[in-house]
């Protein structure tokens, strides 16, 4: 359940960041009133709440449940997973709701990315036309805009590609009868969702590498943290060894 919740939250936070940056570029005069620290806290809290509620709704609704099952042949009792008679119908509805949420998120991500890229290109072109006497400053701003645009496009593309298996699985669950847990195509269901979970996990771990390669400031901050962390580990180890020697 934690994995299901936090991978979804990671996706939605990425969408929110893209939308926030789009507003900063497209409407810079209104960004302070539209996006405030209070608004960001409320939105992030709502995203985490939705992530928890949609993490595994089958358990919350009682459609899937745990119970003690007795094996009379081997004379043992073990914990098993059971499901109600309406499991497949409820699963179709829940899958459709989650699919709609993700589809809306992807549409917001695509629109914000396209709008941001177009706005950056317009501003870069305007700077080149109006600041020919300040070529160095203009080149630096244009380079920064290009890097920002590339970073957001790469993050958006990685997010969409990593969640594409999830979208395919949700469509199959709604369209193919028996593509469900304990259904006719149970084995195929398990294999497909295993790939989906793998790609969702990859999406959660690729952002750090993208920022490291695309952002100079991020790279410098990251490199500055490593020596400090190394020194902290070294001091902790020395203190631990010194304490052991005193005990001896």
Give residue-wise pLDDT tens across range 134-145.
Answer: 555 455 556 676
d(C-alpha 142, C-alpha 148), whole Å: 10
Read off the pLDDT band of 51 (50, 70, 90). confident
Q: What is the DSSP letter of 69?
A: E
The values of phi and psi at residue 67, to 5°, are -150, 160
Cβ(160)–Cβ(106) under 8 Å? yes
Instruction: Give the model's pLDDT for residue 247.
Output: 54
Whether 83 has a pLDDT exceeding 80, the answer reads no
Compute the average pLDDT of residues 23-46: 85
Give residue-wise pLDDT tens across range 108-148: 888 888 888 888 777 777 766 665 555 554 555 566 767 77
Confidence bin at 42 (pLDDT 50/70/90): very high
Query: Which residue did the predictor score with more confidence, 126 or 162?
Result: 162
Does residue 248 surpass a pLDDT of 60?
no
Q: Is the pLDDT of residue 150 over 60?
A: yes
Average pLDDT in the chain = 77
Q: Residue 179 has what pLDDT?
A: 81
pTM: 0.69
Classify residue 160 by burial, with Cβ atoms within 10 Å: 0-12, 13-18, 19+: middle
Q: Are 123 and 146 in contact (CB under 8 A)?
A: no
Residue in 14, 8, 36 with CA at minimum distance from that of residue 151: 14
pLDDT tens-digit readout, 188-236: 888 888 888 888 878 877 878 888 787 778 777 777 776 665 566 566 6
């Amino acid at each position: 359940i934690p994995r299901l919740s936090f991978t979804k939250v990671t996706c939605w936070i990425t969408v929110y960041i893209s939308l926030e940056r789009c507003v900063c570029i497209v409407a810079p005069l209104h960004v302070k009133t539209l996006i405030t620290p209070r608004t960001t806290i409320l939105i992030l809290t709502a995203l985490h709440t939705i992530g928890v509620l949609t993490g595994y709704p089958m358990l919350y609704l009682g459609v899937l449940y745990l119970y003690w099952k007795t094996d009379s042949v081997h004379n043992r009792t073990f914990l098993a997973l059971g499901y109600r008679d309406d499991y497949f119908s409820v699963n179709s509805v829940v899958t459709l709701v989650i699919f709609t949420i993700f589809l809306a998120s992807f549409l917001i991500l695509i629109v914000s990315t396209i709008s941001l890229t177009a706005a950056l290109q317009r501003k870069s072109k305007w700077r080149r036309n109006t600041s020919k006497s300040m070529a160095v400053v203009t080149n630096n701003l244009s380079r920064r805009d290009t890097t920002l645009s590339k970073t957001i496009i790469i993050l958006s593309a990685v997010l969409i590609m990593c969640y594409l298996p999830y979208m395919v699985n949700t469509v199959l669950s709604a369209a193919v009868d028996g593509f469900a847990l304990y259904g006719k195509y149970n084995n195929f269901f398990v294999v497909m969702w295993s790939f989906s979970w793998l790609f969702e996990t990859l999406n959660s771990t690729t952002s750090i590498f993208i920022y490291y390669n695309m952002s100079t400031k991020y790279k410098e901050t990251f490199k500055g943290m490593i020596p400090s962390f190394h020194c902290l580990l070294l001091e902790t180890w020395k203190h631990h060894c010194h304490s052991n020697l005193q005990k001896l």
